[in-house]
Chains A and B, each alone.
Chain A
Amino acid sequence: LAKTTQPISMDSYEGQEVNITCSHNNIATNDYITWYQQFPSQGPRFIIQGYKTKVTNEVASLFIPADRKSSTLSLPRVSLSDTAVYYCLVGWGSTLGRLYFGRGTQLTVWP
């Protein structure tokens, strides 16, 4: 499984756009890129998943360059409730749920 590298922490203010970048230089051809969000004392929650180019859903966008060696999670107009740890994972279906989490990025949103 490809190793991922993310910033340990980020700060932002309410209403701003936040971009969290993840490096995965050894990503394999079949790997998908997935982001999870975790609040204190809760289980992680799936945010978004993509393979290439751009994916957008109701909460976030995921930008993946052509070489796929990195990806950027974009959170538009963050609020205080977006304060959480964000994890970037790579893998594909054959791992059948063996998700490997790093330490994630602690995002703190200030008023």
Chain B
Amino acid sequence: ETGVTQSPTHLIKTRGQQVTLRCSSQSGHNTVSWYQQALGQGPQFIFQYYREEENGRGNFPPRFSGLQFPNYSSELNVNALELDDSALYLCASSTANRLELRLDTQYFGPGTRLTVL
């Protein structure tokens, strides 16, 4: 167990709807990253939040947005859902230190399985 929790576990939506996924990071971690993992593929980086600010974004459209709260928990919001948004959404937390050279170890949650019909 990593101490990272995500909710809900599974979710079914229809095309055009909006969805909010939630993540509680491991205690003491100040950074949360979100990934999308399609079936048979590796996780793809969506964006990262460091101390409540977005700190980098992958190749995802603006309808993917997020928040990080003062307690370092986070939300991923997806608007105008498309069929291709069906995937496992993973949240990962870490204690990023901008001075640290070693690639920070990320602790992943179990994911939310989103199905768009």
**Cβ–Cβ < 8 Å partners of A31 in chain B:** 103
| Contacting residue for B108 out of A43, A93, A95, A104, CB 8 A | A43
Report the interface size class on chain B.
35 or more
Chain A contact residue count (CB 8 A cutoff)? 29
Q: Is A81 an interface residue (CB 8 A)?
A: no
Interfacial residues of chain B within 32-54, with CB under 8 A of chain A in the complex: 33, 35, 40-45, 48, 50
Main secondary structure of the interface of A (DSSP, over half): loop
Give the CA-CA distance A41 to B88 in the complex, in Å.
Answer: 8
Q: Is A66 an interface residue (CB 8 A)?
A: no
* Supplied contacts A96-B104, A97-B50, A101-B44, 18 more A-B pairs, CB within 8 Å: A31-B103, A41-B111, A41-B113, A43-B109, A43-B111, A44-B108, A46-B107, A49-B105, A92-B102, A92-B103, A95-B103, A96-B48, A96-B50, A97-B104, A98-B33, A98-B45, A98-B48, A100-B45
